[in-house]
Amino acid sequence: MKISIGCDHIVTEIKDYIASYLEKKGHEVIDHGTYDKQRTHYPIFGKRAGEKVASGEADLGVVLCGTGVGVTVSANKVKGVRAALVGDMEAARYAKENLNANVIAVGGRIVGIGLIENIIDVFLETEYKPSKEKEEIIKKIDALVTNEEQMNNDHYFDEFLEKWDRGEYPKQ
Ligand code: RB5
């Protein structure tokens, strides 16, 4: 499978570990960064990783930040993305089976690495089980968003990066 991944600076080493984990399992990983520990912003990477799934360039996505919350909220704003923030295998299975989630998200500072591996395995291995009802509601949910103008605009969050640079945020 082709897997799009992204994270913020809080969990870069976990994202790198997961990228290798996936590659060892034979998947092709498209790593959208971030690539180091320099402060950045989670929505950039939720958006980027999500867009590659929405466009069909990747089959599925994996996104991480400290809690997983920020990256999930932003990935879910990409039209066609259904990102599920989970902390256990059952929720990962549910997300795929019932909502055909195409991005899985975890909090790298919350969930242990062994459980993250298991969550991702379940997410990749579980098949969506379509039904008329599920199809209808997924279609309706997908129609809720979005701001088409921002699709593939990699500079959408630049103003927030500039705030980091000017020291306008408290230390995180
Ligand atoms: C750091 O920016 C931290 O707030 C972020 O990784 C995440 O936990 C947000 O949901």
Give the CATH number, domain containing residue 57: 3.40.1400.10
Structural domain includes residue 99: yes
Å from CA of 120 to ligand 1 middle = 20
Q: What is the pLDDT of residue 171?
A: 65
Atom of ligand 1 nearest to the CA of 65: 6
pLDDT at 38 exceeding the cut of 70: yes
Cα–Cα dist 10/76, whole Å:
20
Residue 76 has pLDDT above 60, yes or no: yes
Which pTM does this prediction carry? 0.88
Domain ranges, residue 80: 2-144
Q: Is 7 a catalytic residue?
A: no
Q: Whose CA is nearest to atom 6 of ligand 1?
A: 66
Q: Check pLDDT > 60 for residue 172.
A: no
Output the CA torsion 53→55→59→62 (10° steps).
-10
pLDDT at 103 over 80: yes
Contacts of 126 (CB under 8 A, 6+ apart): 92, 93, 96, 97
Residue 116 lies in a domain: yes
pLDDT number for residue 168: 84
- What is the SS3 assignment for 31-63? ECCCCCCCCCCHHHHHHHHHHHHHCCCCCEEEE
d(Cα 22, Cα 24) in Å, to the nearest integer?
A: 5
CB-ligand 1 contact for 67 (6 Å cutoff): yes
Task: Tell whether ligand 1 has an atom less than 6 A from the beta carbon of residue 69.
Answer: yes
In a domain, 112, yes or no: yes
Q: How far is the CA of 102 from the centre of ligand 1 (A)?
A: 22
Q: What is the pLDDT of residue 153?
A: 78
Judge if the beta carbon of residue 10 lies within 6 A of ligand 1.
yes
Distance between CA atoms of residues 36 and 115, nearest Å: 23
What ligand 1 atom has the least distance to the C-alpha of 11? 6
Taking the alpha carbons at both ends of the chain, their separation in whole angstroms is: 35
Looking at per-residue pLDDT, the higher value among 87 and 143 belongs to 87
| 150 in any annotated domain | no
Q: What number is the average pLDDT over the span 70-78?
A: 95
Q: Give the position of tokens 């997924």.
A: 138
φ and ψ of 109, to 5 deg:
-95, 0
- pLDDT at 44 exceeding the cut of 80: yes
Q: Does 137 reside within a domain? A: yes
Q: Is the pLDDT of residue 61 over 70?
A: yes
Residue 164 lies inside a defined structural domain of this protein: no
C-alpha 80/C-alpha 78 separation (Å) is: 6
d(CA 152, CA 49): 11
Let me know if residue 69 belongs to a domain. Answer: yes
User: Which residues face 29 on adjacent strands?
Assistant: 3
Mean per-residue pLDDT, 51-67: 97
Q: If pLDDT is split at 50, 70 and 90, which confidence band does 85 have?
A: very high
- Catalytic: which of 53, 65, 75, 84? 65
Given this model, what pLDDT does residue 2 score? 98
pLDDT greater than 90 at residue 139: no
Count of structural domains, the chain: 1
* Residue 77 included in any domain: yes
**pLDDT tens-digit series, residues 123-138:** 999 999 999 999 998 8
* Nearest residue (CA) to ligand 1, atom 8: 66
If one residue of 13, 40, 42 were mutated to test the ligand 1 pocket, choosing by the most ligand atoms within 8 A of its CB, it would be 42
pLDDT, position 158 = 85
